[in-house]
Amino acid sequence: MFRKTVQRMAGYVPGEQPRDRRYVKLNTNENPYPPSPQVLDALRDAIGENLRLYPRPMADELRERAARHYRLAPRNVLVGNGSDELLAILMRATLDAGGRVAYPVPTYSLYDTLVAIHGGLAVPVPFPDDFSLPPALAEVDAELVIVCNPNSPSGTWLPPQALGPLFRRRDRLVVIDEAYVDFADGHCLELLRDVPNVVVLRTLSKSYSLAGMRIGLALGSESVIGELAKVKDSYNVNRLSIVAGAAALRDPRWMEANVRRVRRSRDALTRRLVEMGFVVPESQANFVFARRPGEDLGPLYESLKRRGVLVRHFATPELRDGLRITVGTDDEIAVLVRVLGQLV
Ligand code: PMP
């Protein structure tokens, strides 16, 4: 009944959303602070009779607001049901059977799953130890290249100048997944000016505290956005998400204030982890990757969980010596640091 690729694949395993007890939940990079009150007001106003009507197919209100926010035209914006959906749309639009998708690893493991679903071939290119751009990525044969920037789980960020070699070739699409970029020192939007084959992905899940609304944005040239729009579901973003997203982008100061708090907490958390003997790459995201090189931190993850603190542990050989810890409130971080201190 099912395609061979589907039968063979495991399916993506999202971070746990446990219901059994209350955890200090630092495992899925959600924002610990609420979204702008303007979002809640706009949602209240939007709940009514209109819900019986389909939404605008291209999410016009949000598309136009996003264009204004990023100083682009609406034709340069595609709205998605989370940036996860936009990643799937990108693959649907670019991959024939066996089509190649290259990305530096370790990175966001959903890329592997989506490549498998679309019958493509993943071409993982290992990051150097310092998480700089792997030179081989510039020359690799692929229909699609994805750079997660800031990268997960390392938290490391590459400035746009460092990505230059990727754009020597113009015969493939290069996606910069900027899910966490509002927490970084810069971003890659300037590439949209000069590079016709680049797509920048943004999400309102992290910095804008709207993970529950599922809102992603693909930014690119008119022709690229036009091709992607052809393969999306007709009504891929629901009415309430359109309203919420537009309201959030009308109040960027709220987001910026939350980002400043998260960045301050992140840097303090990094210092504490280093004092405890962890190796922590400089994070430009809303999480940190705390390593003990060579040691399997699976048992430490389990002990933290038993004590009510949930972080993310990846069991793969390259990542099992680390814990990815979302930057929560200062109170949550204090609990994590106290419990971790007892355990190590
Ligand atoms: N890209 C990266 C690197 C992520 O970590 C996530 C969140 N898991 C996403 C994209 C997807 O974000 P969303 O679908 O919530 O917009």
Structure tokens at 44: 């209240």
- Answer yes or no: do 267 and 240 share one domain: no
Same domain, 25 and 88: no
Is residue 89 domain-shared with residue 15, that is, in the same domain?
no
What is the predicted pLDDT for the residue at 236? 98
CATH value at residue 199: 3.40.640.10
Write down which residue in 251, 276, 308 finishes a domain: 251
- Choose the residue to mutate in 203, 213, 324 for probing ligand 1, maximizing ligand atoms within 8 Å of C-beta: 203
Coil, strand or helix at 122: strand
- Model confidence at 337, pLDDT cuts 50, 70, 90, reads very high
Of 251, 277, 310, the domain-final residue:
251
276-298: average pLDDT: 97
Indicate whether residue 245 lines ligand 1 (CB < 6 A).
no
Whether residues 24 and 94 share a domain: the answer is no
The CA dihedral of 178, 181, 182, 188, to the nearest 10 degrees, is -80
27 shares its domain with 51? no
Is residue 74 located within the same domain as residue 204? yes
- DSSP-derived 3-state class of residue 104: strand
| Interatomic CA distance for residues 110 and 107, integer angstroms | 9
Q: Are 153 and 180 within one domain?
A: yes
The whole-number average pLDDT for the span 55-73 is: 98
What are the pLDDT digits (tens) for 187-219?
A: 999 999 999 999 999 999 999 999 999 999 999
| 195 C-alpha to ligand 1 centroid (Å) | 24
pTM of the model: 0.97
Listed residues 226, 251, 276: the one ending a domain: 251
pLDDT score at 334: 97
Q: What percent of the chain has pLDDT over 90?
A: 93
Give the distance (Å) from ligand 1 centre to CA of residue 180. Answer: 8
Residue 30, ligand 1, Cβ within 6 A: no
Residues with Cβ within 8 Å of 10's Cβ and at least 6 positions away in sequence, in order, are 113
Q: CATH code at 335?
A: 3.90.1150.10
Are 311 and 197 in the same domain? no
CA neighbor of 63 nearest in space, from 171, 202, 184: 202
My answer on whether 167 and 80 are in the same domain is yes
What is the distance between the alpha carbons of residues 190 and 206, in angstroms, rounded to a whole number? Answer: 21
The pLDDT assigned to 5 comes to 87
Measure the CA–CA gap between 328 and 324, rounded to whole angstroms. Answer: 12
Please say whether the beta carbons of 178 and 149 come within 8 A: yes
- The answer on 226 and 268 residing in a single domain is no
Number of domains in the chain: 2
Mean pLDDT computed over 130-146? 96
> Quick one: 175 and 30 in the same domain?
no
Ligand 1 probe mutation, 152, 175, 217, 287, most atoms within 8 A of CB = 152
Helices (H), 135-233: 191-194, 222-230
pLDDT of 137: 96
pLDDT tens, position by position, 216-264: 999 999 999 999 999 999 999 999 999 999 999 999 999 999 999 999 9
Q: Which domain holds residue 284?
A: 4-34+253-343
Above pLDDT 70, what percent of the chain? 100
Average pLDDT of the chain, as a whole number: 96
Task: For residue range 9-40, list pLDDT tens digits in order.
Answer: 888 988 888 888 899 999 999 999 999 999 99
